[in-house]
Amino acid sequence: MMVLSGAARIYLYRGATDMRRSFDGLAGMVTGCLGDDPLSGAVYVFCNRRRNRIKLLYWSGDGYAIWAKRLERGTFLMPAATTTRVELSSAQLSMLLEGIVPLRVGVRYRRPPVPAGMLAAAAGSE
C-alpha cells in the first residue's frame, strides 16, 4: 500500500507515456526525460496520450513499486504548465487522481477591505 507523507516529492511528467512500460522502462524515463534519480524516494507520475490511464512509480526502499489507475470514462486533467516536469503536492496528486478540478488557485483567505472612512479617520488622527 502506498502512503504519501506531506514531505514526499511528487513529479508529474506531462508528456505522453506508453503505458506498456513497466518498472525499468519508467525508471529509464525518469533518468532520461526528467533528469532525476529514480532511487531518490520521490514519486513519479506518468499519463498516456489519451489521459485515461495513469501510473505512479516510486522506490519503496527495497525495490520499485508501481500504482496504476484506468478510467472507464473521462480523462485526467493535468495542471497547466509550460514545462514537461511539474512538481505536485500530495493534495494536488489526490485531486488529480480523484478527478477534482480546482476552480481557483491562490490564497484562500484574504484580509477584509478597510472602508474608506476608516482610512481617512486614521490619517487625520496622526
pLDDT of 105 > 70? The answer is no
CA distances from 50 to 53, 70, 103, 112 (A): 8, 11, 23, 44
Q: Is the pLDDT of residue 55 over 80?
A: yes
* Look-up of cell digits 489521459: 51
Residue 120's region, left for phi above 0, alpha for psi from -120 to 50, else beta, is alpha
pLDDT for position 12? 93
- Share of residues in the chain with pLDDT > 70 (%): 74
The total of other beta-carbon atoms located within 10 Å of residue 51's CB is 14
Three-class DSSP category at 86: strand
pLDDT tops 90 at residue 27:
yes
Residue 118: predicted pLDDT: 58
Q: Are 65 and 3 in contact, with CB atoms under 8 Å apart?
A: no
Q: At 75, is the secondary structure helix, strand, or coil?
A: coil
pTM for this entry: 0.75
Share of the chain above pLDDT 90, in %: 40
As a whole number of angstroms, the distance between CA 67 and CA 36 comes to 19
pLDDT of residue 60: 86
Give the Cα separation of 96 and 99 in Å (integer): 5
Task: Decide: 79 and 49 in contact? Cβ < 8 Å.
Answer: no
> How much is the pLDDT for 109?
55
